[in-house]
Amino acid sequence: MKILIIKKRTLFAIIAIILVAVVVLSVSLTYASKQTAKPIGAKVIVLDAGHGGIDAGVIGKSGLKESDFNLKMTFLLRDLLDKAGFKVVLTRENEDGLYGKVTKNRKRADMAARKKIIQEANPGIIVSIHANKYPSSERRGAQVFYDEYNKAGMRLAKSVQANVNLLNQEYIKRDFSALSGDYFLLKCSHAPSIIMECGFLSNLEDEKLLSDDGYCNKLAFCIYGGIVAFLETEETA
């Protein structure tokens, strides 16, 4: 009987060791997956819907107002980033500008307010949403701009451009390169910042696409994919 008791004890000890090992392993696996997921999900992303209020931005040939379009695209992108667990901060959430009650230098007041929101949010990424215009109505396509002195911004721009080029190829049969540009919004933070010019409102076909919810959803998804791909590359580099 004594031998049997020892055997039972030994058996219990072995079972206990296995149980502890399983618990430790599952806890460490959960921890490891949280560790790798955390930096990406923990990023604050500022989305800036360009223009607003008295500043409508570009007005399309068929009447699409850039400030309205920018807000719509910003909401679509916000929803995708929200679902993925990012903390999203918007510079504006309605059609109003950010210049408050000032009557002079409204543009300057508007831009200063955007800069303040960006700096207070201390974001990991800034995306400013716009639609473009060009003297030639032939010009089309979605194109990303970055500040030449912000190298991470350039990498983010290239990542987003590669993704939106899927749409440029599908609808215009060509690619575009991300370009450097001298924009105030790109200099509000040292964080990677881009201007997303979603298409040309000076082109009727682009305006039609930017007025189409299906296309806008696809575009939002491409921008979102470019942001996530950038973050994954940066964190494994």
Instruction: Look at strands 193-200 and 143-146 and give their pairing.
Output: antiparallel
Contacts of 38 (CB under 8 A, 6+ apart): none
* Token digits of residue 47: 């989305």
CB of 113 to Zn ion, least distance (A): 16
Of 59 and 166, the one with the shorter C-beta distance to Zn ion is 59
Contacts of 142 (CB under 8 A, 6+ apart): 164, 167, 168, 176, 196, 197, 198, 199, 219, 222
Phi then psi dihedrals of residue 176, to 5 deg: -125, 160
**Helix (H) / strand (E) containing 196:** strand 193-200
Of 50 and 52, the one with the shorter C-beta distance to Zn ion is 50
CB of 224 to Zn ion, least distance (A): 20
CB of 131 to Zn ion, least distance (A): 6
Q: Which residues bind Zn ion (CB under 5 A)?
A: 50, 57, 130
CB of 227 to Zn ion, least distance (A): 20
Of 84 and 137, the one with the shorter C-beta distance to Zn ion is 137
Of 187 and 190, the one with the shorter C-beta distance to Zn ion is 187
